A and B are shown apart, each in its own frame.
Chain A
Amino acid sequence: MRTLLFLLQKEFRQIFRDKAILRMIFVMPILQLVVLPWAADYEMKNIRLSIVDHDNSPYSQELVHKITASGYFLLNTYTQSFADAMHEVEEDRADLILEIPPRFERTLVRENEATLFMALNAINGVKANLGGAYLRTIIQDYNREVRLNWVQLPRFNPETRIEIVPSNWFNPFMNYQYFMVPGILVILVTLVGSFLTALNIVREKEVGTMEQINVTPIKKHHFILGKLIPFWILGLVVLTVGFFLSWVVYGIVPVGSFVTIYVFAAIYLLAVLGLGLLISSYADSQQQAMLISFFMMMVFILLSGLYTSIDSMPEWAQLVTLLNPVAYFIDVIRLVVLKGAGLSEIRQQLLTIIGFAVVLNAWAVFSYKKRS
C-alpha cells in the first residue's frame, strides 16, 4: 500500500510537471468542443449551383428565385449555355447544374408537364447527394405552388395529396450540436484514457526507467495501478471540463442524470485504460505506440456512430462496431444527454463495457511481462 502511494505521488508530480499533458487536458477539450461541432455539420450549405436557363420566363425566374432563397445554394452562374455551366463544374467552381429547357413555361401551362435536367458533380458524393435531394424538394414545392396558384384546377382536386407533419422528439429543433458534442466528449475521454496512458508507460520503457523499476521489489500490480489510477482520474477530469464547456458554449445540460453518465464513464475508463496498457505492452517505443494509437483511433471514430449512423452501415461493419468500446459510450452518452435514459435503460451497454474492462485488463496484465 505504501509502495502504491509512492508510485502515485511520483506519477502525479510528473503529470503536473508535463506541460504537454496539461495542455492536452485543458486546451484539447476547449478546441475540440468549441471548433469541431460547428465545422463537422451534416447539413450541406453553400452548394454552388449553375443554372442554365433556356426559357427566361417569369416561371423560370420564379423557380430560380425560390432556389436561391432557400439558403442552401450559392448561385454561381446563370447562363443560357450548358457548355458554360459544364465548364464551371470542370473547374470545380460548381457542384450542381440545373437546366431549364426552352418553352418551360409554355409546356408547363399548356401540357401540365415539364422536364428539368439536373447534373451533379459526384466527386464529393455527400454534397452531390444532399444537394440533389434539397433541389428536388424545392422543385416539388414549387410544383405544388404552381398547381395551387396558377393552374386552373377542377372543383374537386382529382389528385390526392398526402402531407407529412414531422415532430422531432428528444432534440426538437434538430440542434446539431446536441448530437455532436456528447460524442466528441467520448472521444476526448478515450484519448486520455487509452493513448496518454500507453504513451506514458512506453516512455518509461524508452528512457530506461522501466528497467530500473523492474529490478526494484515493486509488484507488477502496484506498478500497473500506479499508472492506471492517475489516468483514470484525469479521464474523469477531462469529462467534467468537457461538460462544463458544453454547458457554457452550447447550453447543453443532460436531460438524464450525471450519476448515470459518471457511473458508465468510470467503468468505460477502466476498459480504455486496459487498452492503453495493452498497447504499451506491445509497443517498445513511443513512436510505435503513437502509430498503433492513431490506427485504432481512426477505426474507433469511423465505426463509432459519431459521424455516420451505425444503422446504415453494411452488416459486417455493424458487427465490427460491436467490438468498439467507443460506440457503446457514444450511444449511452446520447441516450442520457438527449433522452434522459437512466441506469436501467443502459444496462445492456453497461454490462458489455464491464466485459470489455475485464477482458482488456486481463489480457494486458497477462502480456505485460515484468521479466522476459
Chain B
Amino acid sequence: MGIDKEKVITANQLTKRFGDFTAVDAISFEVEKGEIFGFLGANGAGKTTAIRMLSGLSIPSDGEATVAGFDVYRQTEQIKRSIGYMSQKFSLYEDLTVRENIRFFAGIYGMSDQFIKDNTARLLHQLRLKEEENKLVKSLPLGWKQKLAFSVAIFHEPEIVFLDEPTGGVDPVTRREFWTMIYEAAESGITVFVTTHYMDEAEYCNRVSIMVDGRIDALDTPKNLKQQYEVGSMEDVFIKLARKATRAD
C-alpha cells in the first residue's frame, strides 16, 4: 500500500439514513487504482446502499466520498461517466440481441461508431459469442449473460467498475472464468469494487472489507484478516464477524 498509489475511491464517515434507520453508518475507506476491492457483508448489512451512494444513484445523508476524483454530492454525472456498473439483478435488455445490447450501452456512454465497431468484434471473439451475436440475450445461458453483462459494463473503459453480486447463481466453472475476466480488467487498470457472498471469491480480492450492521468492522488483505482472527479461511473470518450482527433483512 504505497503512499504514491492513486486513490480512486475515498469514503469518509459516509452515512445513509432512511428515516430512523441508519443503513450505512459512517463508513470510511480508500480504494487504490487497479485494486480488486472485496465488499463483504451479510444480507442487510448495507452493501447495496453503500454502492448506490458511490455510483451516484443515492445521495448520502452525511459524510464525504469521492469516486474517480468526483464528489458524490455534486458531480454525479461525471462519476457516472467514469464508472461501470453491473447489479445483482440482470441488467442487459433481454429482448435485444447481443450485438444490439453492446451497441446501445456503448452508444449512451458516447463511444464513437468506429470504437464500437472495432471493440464489438474483439469482444464477441473473446467471449466466443460470434455465432450468437444476433441472438436475443434472453436465449443465452445465465453464465454467458453474466459474462456479457460484465463486458458491457467495462466496454466504455471506465476507471472503476462496481459489481454487485455478479456471480450469483452461476456454476463454479463459469465463476472461475468470470474471475479471470475480473483479473484481466484489473490488470488493464480498471479498479474493481465487488460484493459477493462466496468466500472463495473473497480470497481472490486484494483487500476485503466486511460490513456488519452498516459499519465496516474489518478491512485488510485476506491474509492479514485470517491472521488477525486466527482462523484458516475467509469463511471463518466472515462468520466470526457476521455473528455479531443484530439486524437481518
Contacts and interface: CB of A to CB of B under 8 A. Distances in A.
Contact of B104 (A10, A215, A217, A372): A10
B93 A209 contact: yes
A13 B56 contact: no
Interface residues of B, number: 30
Contact of B108 (A7, A17, A371): A7
A14 B87 contact: no
Interface stretch (B34-42, B76-84, B119-127): B76-84
A142 B100 CA distance: 76
A208 B57 contact: no
Contact of B77 (A3, A211, A212, A217): A217
* Minimum-distance CB pairs A-B, first 9: A208-B89, A6-B107, A212-B91, A215-B85, A217-B80, A217-B81, A10-B104, A215-B55, A216-B108
A7 B110 CA distance: 12
Interface string A1-25: 0110111011001100110000000
A372 B58 contact: yes
B26 interface: no
A2 B107 contact: yes
Given A10-B100, A14-B96, A372-B58, A211 B91 contact: yes
Contacts of B104: 6, 9-10
A6 B111 CA distance: 11
Contact of B93 (A5, A10, A371): A10
A365 B84 CA distance: 26
B90 interface: yes
Contacts of A2: 107, 110
B110 A207 contact: no
B94 interface: yes
B173 to A, nearest CB: 25
Nearest to B81: A217
Nearest to A9: B104
A208 B145 CA distance: 14
Interface string B88-115: 0111111110001001110111100000
Nearest to A5: B107
10 contacts: A3-B108, A6-B104, A10-B96, A17-B95, A208-B89, A215-B80, A215-B83, A217-B77, A217-B81, A372-B58
A41 B110 CA distance: 56
In the complex, which of the residues A6, A211, A215, A372 has the most CB atoms of chain B within 10 Å of its own CB atom?
Answer: A215
In the complex, which of the residues B77, B91, B136 has the most CB atoms of chain A within 10 Å of its own CB atom?
Answer: B91
A278 B94 CA distance: 25
Nearest to B82: A217
Nearest to B58: A372
Nearest to B55: A215
B241 interface: no
A126 interface: no
B56 A371 contact: yes
B219 interface: no
B59 interface: yes
A366 to B, nearest CB: 17
Interface of B: 55-59, 76-77, 80-81, 83, 85, 87, 89-96, 100, 103-105, 107-110, 136, 162
A69 to B, nearest CB: 61
A133 B77 CA distance: 70
Interface in A196-241: 207-209, 211-212, 214-218
Given A13-B100, A208-B90, A211-B87, A217 B110 contact: yes
Nearest to B100: A13
Contacts of A372: 57-59
In the complex, which of the residues A2, A9, A212, A372 has the most CB atoms of chain B within 10 Å of its own CB atom?
Answer: A212
B96 A214 contact: no
Contacts of A7: 108
Contacts of A9: 104
B47 to A, nearest CB: 15
A208 B87 contact: yes
A5 B104 CA distance: 10
A216 B103 CA distance: 14
B232 to A, nearest CB: 37
Given A10-B104, A17-B95, A208-B90, A215 B57 contact: yes
A218 B77 CA distance: 9
B94 A212 contact: no
Contact of B109 (A5, A208, A214, A217): A217
Nearest to B97: A13
Contacts of A214: 57
Contact of A215 (B56, B59, B103, B136): B56
Contacts of B108: 3, 6-7, 216-218
A315 B85 CA distance: 55
A212 B100 contact: no
Contacts of A218: 108
